[in-house]
């Protein structure tokens, strides 16, 4: 930035069509017309509120929302002329009007509420001007044309107290018309009026003013503020001094003699560097540097130089991002970019060439100019009035030739390429030497080959040529005749000369081998394909890499490769149309584009973009119009002049944006919630919504169009989606569920905000997917399933009952059949015994046998109809049977043992279940025993729910009995055992419990040899309940 200490210097510069400047004011009214403005305020969200003569305006950097009075809407603002704006701690916006009083605006309901100001009789004042507000705890001090009011901040906004001027009371206000109210850091209330400033005593409710202290300013108070150092400043209107400061130790005001007097209406603000800015109605704006104490003046008459256009500047503000705003006829912004960019305006004439040394800056616009850096003077470099000039030496041509390229031959000489000639200018003698080329077109570019002491020249029409700096003659090598429409040239390594063509891509010419390689967009070799047939500029960096500026992106040919690398906007390049390219001293690549400047960091592989919001005067930059001087300062020519800067001094704005919700649309229709978008935290939609669009707002007013965005649905993915400068998140056909939208944003310098949860969006499912419907459906399904289960279970039970009854009946019939089989078997054996006794002549035994037999038959017949009989009855039948058998075989004994825990009167067993085993023990175990006693033992015991019945004999054992049977013994047997086994099986099926029969041999050891001493049969049957 160049500071001008004296105002007359500006008038000298204004005589020229060009002016040197640094950062300029930006006129927001060019994009967002707002009319004449008198008040500006920034709320806690970061929105700017601007009071105009045509309503209230809210500005967010992207759009301006207007609030105007509507006589048909009782909730609209009461008037259109604004005097004051303030936000209270509840987020309500207080608006003071010039005639209609004041309103309080609720951003959620978008409604204005009218405030009431009663007079001394309690009647509302119809026409009252509200000029200022200041909040004091739960009270709001309101400066009006009818006195100083204190109102409650809660919803009622009721009157607490009113202060006015009283002629008879010197401690009252000095005037009833209040212009300003201010509370300083010591909680002192200061009141400005039409008749001086007043200090309020909170204990006595009295005021100090010039009536009681002559040092108090007694003119109309325009502004009261407190500087960064805590010093209170008062600006009166047309007083002896334009600015007064308060001395708390002496209790007096002192006029500032160093400040310009009689500046009219003043407003003051301080930027982040503690510089004081002053706007003065009808005069302009001032900036007082806090470090150097220099004053810079911006007058509206010379707005082309600095951009300040407000002749009627009324107010100013420093926002939370460091920008300084001025209002009046235009809304102007001095951006907090810290870029230190300086510019020379060419009054909308393009600057096609630029060159600089330590003393001068040359550039070519409509005419060539030179800027003297030391004298800060701009002169025409090439005019008909110049004492020694090309025009006089080149009389056949009319007009001033256009310069396309500059470069230094040595410390004293400058080489200049014009429409058709090469000129060498002596800086000391200021003499030109002209060397006509006759190349058939403008010499667009050249490069100095110092090793060969020649210039490689690139004319637009025709083929490249060589200008010999020794002989000062042109030559056109035959090898270059195939090159067409070359517009730029660059020296390479190893004897390579590179040419960029307007239509034929990139050429490489090796002056050693005379070989030419053409890199085209549609080259057969994919490695040789450039992104565009038009190459605007070339630059060889210090590492030997060739950087290629095309109209379709940045191309790179590395020194160790023969393959073109294409870098386009998908990889972060802000604009694909690159016009100029150069490297800075830090090895960063700088590019002029059709949308500002871009810097590519070779270390990080990232781009940084700079545009007019950073202080550039050019939006579009001209091909090949760039230069780097010995100090590392870069110069770029554009459509409105020259921008130049030191890359090492390009600061950044470190304040990140504040991100809010701007708008939500469903199926292209805005969603109305009754809550301000910035306050919405939750939204719910049904499943029918196809497209949900969430518009974001990054509040950073320095360069809002360059703010970038990223988002993620944090409960679904941890990956960030980069939106670039696009502000809209689109949810297309979202599935039912929750979407927790998390966002972050970066300012124009790439400083990102902390991620924040923006909004939780819930997509409700159709009712058949809701929890209550699913639960109800599950319950209903369970009820149906249970009903079906119960029905089926009932059916099965019924079938089982029928089947069980049927099976039991079958089992009973089968048991009866088995008993019927057994009974004939027993009768057959008994009759055989009787026959044997009669045949033997033993009539007495036969008679007793018949008697016992008849008793047994009666009992058997009695029990045959019952499936189960009492154990006592069955044992009685078994005793009768044993008695009958002992009548036949007197040489054996028997014993029946019943344990005490067996109740023979209640236990029930199938009739004659043990009889076959007893019979088998007698006939096969005892009958063939020839030695020793013979005995059958029957034991009855209980094992839990089972009845254990054992039949044991001390006979010959099963093995000897089997051998005897095989030799044809007298008795066959076997049916009773088989029938009994079948009866046991039916018992298992009938009771569903295990019934079993185990047969084991009783063994004894005799002379070390095991010998059978009998057989034991164990029958286990369940005891029926």
Return the residue matching tokens 């919700």.
661
- Please tell me the least confidently modeled range out of 158-162, 385-389, 403-407, 485-489: 385-389
Rounded Cα distance between 451 and 468, Å, is 12
DSSP-derived 3-state class of residue 180: strand
Residues 201-220 have pLDDT tens digits of 999 999 999 999 999 998 89
Tokens of 748: 């124009």
Q: Which has the closest alpha carbon to 504: 526, 482, 524?
A: 482
Query: What pLDDT does residue 12 have?
Result: 30
Beta bridge partners of 737: 763
Output b/e per residue, 233-245; b: 16+ Cβ within 10 A. Answer: bbbbbebebbbbb
Residue 24: pLDDT over 80: no
Per domain, the residue ranges of the chain are 8-339, 343-649, 658-769, 839-1022
CATH 3.40.50.20 fits 658-769, yes or no: no
Residue 987: pLDDT over 80: no
Query: What pLDDT does residue 299 have?
Result: 86
pLDDT band per the 50, 70, 90 thresholds, residue 968: low
Residues 823-868 have pLDDT tens digits of 566 667 677 777 777 877 777 777 877 887 787 777 777 776 677 8
Query: What pLDDT does residue 391 have?
Result: 41
Query: What pLDDT does residue 20 have?
Result: 55
Tokens of 307: 């951009």
Rounded Cα distance between 900 and 327, Å, is 119
Answer left, alpha or beta for residue 12, where phi above 0 means left and psi between -120 and 50 means alpha: alpha
**HSE value, Cβ hemisphere, 13 Å, CA-based, for 710:** 16
Rounded Cα distance between 460 and 211, Å, is 81
- Please tell me the least confidently modeled range out of 578-592, 674-688, 962-976: 962-976
Return the residue matching tokens 């599950």.
778
Query: What pLDDT does residue 690 have?
Result: 86
Domain spanning 8-339, CATH class: mainly beta
DSSP string, 758-790: EEEEEEEPPGGGSHHHHHHHHHHHHHHHHHHHH
pTM (two decimals): 0.69
DSSP string, 434-477: EEE---SS-EEEEEEETTTTEEEEEESSS--EEEETTTTEEE--
- Please tell me the least confidently modeled range out of 116-120, 780-784, 957-961, 974-978: 974-978
Element holding 432 (H helix, E strand): strand 431-436
Tokens of 240: 């002896």
Fold type of domain 839-1022 = Heat Shock Protein 90 (3.30.565)
Q: Which has the closest alpha carbon to 729: 669, 663, 673?
A: 663
Query: What pLDDT does residue 105 have?
Result: 96
Rounded Cα distance between 949 and 781, Å, is 54
Residue 821: pLDDT over 90: no
Q: Which CATH architecture has domain 343-649?
A: 7 Propeller (2.130)
- Strands, sheet with 634-638, edge to edge from the N-terminal-most edge strand: 19-21, 342-345, 641-645, 634-638, 621-628
**Are domains 8-339 and 343-649 of this chain identical in fold?**
yes
State the average pLDDT over residues 456-475: 90
């Amino acid at each position: 930035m160049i500071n001008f200490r004296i105002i007359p210097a500006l008038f000298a510069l204004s005589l020229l069509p060009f002016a040197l400047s640094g950062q300029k004011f930006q006129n927001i009214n060019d994009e967002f017309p707002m009319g004449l403005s008198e008040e500006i305020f920034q709320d806690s969200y970061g929105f700017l509120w601007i009071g105009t003569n045509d309503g209230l305006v809210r500005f967010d950097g992207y759009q301006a929302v207007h609030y105007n009075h509507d006589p048909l809407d009782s909730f609209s603002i009461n008037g259109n002329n604004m005097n004051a704006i303030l936000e209270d701690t509840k987020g309500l916006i207080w608006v003071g009007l010039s005639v209609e009083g004041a309103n309080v605006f609720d951003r959620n309901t978008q409604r204005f509420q009218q405030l009431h100001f009663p007079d001394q009789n309690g009647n509302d004042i119809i026409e009252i001007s509200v000029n200022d507000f200041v909040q004091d705890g739960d009270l709001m001090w309101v400066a009006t044309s009818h006195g100083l009011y204190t109102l409650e901040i809660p919803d009622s906004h009721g009157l607490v107290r009113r202060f006015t001027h009283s002629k008879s009371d010197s401690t009252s206000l000095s005037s009833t018309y209040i212009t300003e109210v201010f509370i300083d850091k010591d909680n002192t209330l200061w009141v400005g009026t039409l008749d001086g400033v007043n200090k309020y005593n909170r204990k006595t409710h009295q005021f100090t003013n010039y009536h009681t202290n002559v040092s108090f300013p007694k003119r109309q108070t325009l502004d009261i503020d407190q500087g960064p150092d805590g010093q209170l400043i008062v600006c009166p209107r047309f007083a002896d001094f334009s600015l007064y400061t308060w001395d708390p130790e002496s209790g007096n005001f002192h006029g500032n003699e160093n400040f310009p007097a009689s500046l009219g209406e003043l407003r003051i603000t301080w930027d982040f560097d503690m510089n004081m800015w002053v706007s003065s109605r009808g005069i302009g704006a001032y900036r007082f540097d806090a470090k150097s104490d220099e004053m810079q003046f911006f007058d509206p008459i010379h707005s082309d130089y600095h951009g300040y256009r407000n002749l009627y500047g009324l107010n100013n503000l420093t926002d939370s991002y460091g920008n300084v705003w001025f209002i009046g006829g235009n809304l102007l912004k001095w951006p907090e970019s810290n870029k230190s960019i300086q510019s020379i305006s060419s009054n909308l004439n393009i600057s096609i060439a630029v060159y600089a040394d330590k003393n001068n800056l040359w550039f070519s616009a409509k005419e060539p100019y030179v800027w003297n850096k030391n004298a800060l003077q701009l002169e025409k470099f090439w005019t008909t009035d110049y004492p020694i000039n090309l025009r006089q030496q080149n009389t056949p041509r009319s007009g001033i030739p256009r310069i396309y390229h500059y470069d230094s031959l040595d410390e004293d000489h400058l080489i200049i390429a014009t429409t058709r000639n090469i000129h060498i200018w002596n800086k000391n003698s200021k003499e030109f030497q002209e060397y006509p080329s006759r190349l058939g077109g403008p010499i667009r570019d050249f490069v100095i080959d110092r090793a060969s002491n020649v210039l490689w020249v690139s004319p637009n029409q025709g083929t490249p040529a060589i200008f010999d700096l020794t002989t000062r003659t042109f030559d056109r090598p035959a090898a270059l005749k195939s090159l067409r429409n070359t517009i730029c040239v660059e020296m390479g390594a190893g004897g390579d000369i590179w040419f960029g063509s307007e239509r034929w891509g990139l050429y490489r010419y090796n002056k050693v081998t005379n070989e030419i390689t053409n890199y085209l967009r549609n080259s057969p070799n994919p490695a040789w394909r450039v992104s565009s047939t038009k190459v605007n500029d070339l630059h060889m960096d210090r590492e030997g890499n060739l950087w290629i500026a095309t109209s379709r992106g940045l191309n790179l040919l590395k020194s160790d490769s023969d393959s073109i690398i294409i870098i386009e906007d998908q990889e972060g390049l802000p604009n694909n149309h690159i016009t100029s390219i150069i490297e800075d001293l830090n090895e960063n690549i700088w590019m002029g584009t059709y949308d500002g400047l871009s810097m590519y960091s070779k270390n990080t592989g990232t781009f940084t973009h700079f545009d007019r919001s950073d202080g550039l005067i050019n939006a579009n930059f001209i091909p090949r119009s760039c230069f780097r001087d010995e100090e590392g300062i870069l110069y770029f020519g554009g459509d409105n002049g020259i921008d130049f800067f030191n890359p090492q001094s390009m600061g950044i704005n470190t304040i990140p944006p504040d991100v809010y919700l701007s708008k939500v649309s469903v199926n292209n229709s805005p969603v109305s919630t009754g809550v301000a978008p910035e306050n919405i935290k939750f939204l719910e939609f049904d499943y029918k919504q196809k497209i949900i669009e969430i518009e974001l707002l990054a509040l950073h007013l320095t360069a809002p169009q360059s703010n970038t965005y990223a988002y993620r649905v944090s409960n679904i993915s941890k990956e960030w989606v980069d939106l670039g400068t696009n502000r809209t998140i689109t949810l297309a056909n979202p599935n039912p569920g929750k979407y927790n939208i998390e966002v972050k944003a970066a300012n124009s310098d790439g400083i990102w905000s902390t991620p924040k949860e923006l909004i939780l969006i819930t997509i409700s499912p159709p009712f058949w997917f809701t929890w209550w419907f699913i639960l109800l459906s599950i319950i209903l399904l369970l009820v149906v399933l249970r009903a079906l289960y119960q029905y089926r279970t009932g059916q099965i039970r019924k079938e089982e009952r029928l089947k069980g009854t049927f099976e039991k009946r079958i089992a009973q019939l089968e048991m009866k059949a088995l008993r019927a089989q057994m009974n004939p078997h027993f009768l057959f054996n008994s009759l055989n015994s009787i026959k044997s006794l009669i045949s033997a002549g033993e009539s007495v035994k036969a008679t007793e046998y018949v008697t016992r037999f008849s008793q047994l038959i009666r009992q058997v017949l009695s029990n045959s109809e019952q499936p189960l009989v009492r154990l006592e009855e069955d044992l009685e039948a078994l005793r009768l049977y044993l008695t009958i058998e002992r009548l036949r075989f007197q040489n054996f004994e028997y014993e029946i043992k019943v344990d005490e825990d067996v109740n023979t009167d209640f236990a029930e067993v199938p009739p004659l279940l043990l009889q076959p085993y007893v019979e088998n023990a007698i006939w096969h175990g005892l009958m063939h025993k020839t030695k020793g006693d013979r005995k059958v033992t029957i034991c009855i015991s209980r094992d839990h729910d089972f009845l254990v019945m054992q039949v044991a004999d001390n006979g010959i054992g099963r093995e000897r009995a089997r051998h005897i049977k095989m030799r044809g013994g007298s008795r066959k047997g076997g049916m009773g055992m088989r029938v009994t086994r079948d009866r046991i099986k039916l018992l298992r099926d009938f009771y569903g419990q295990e019934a079993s029969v185990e047969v084991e041999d009783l063994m004894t050891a005799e002379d070390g040899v095991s010998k059978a001493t009998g057989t034991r049969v164990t029958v286990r049957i369940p005891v029926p309940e």
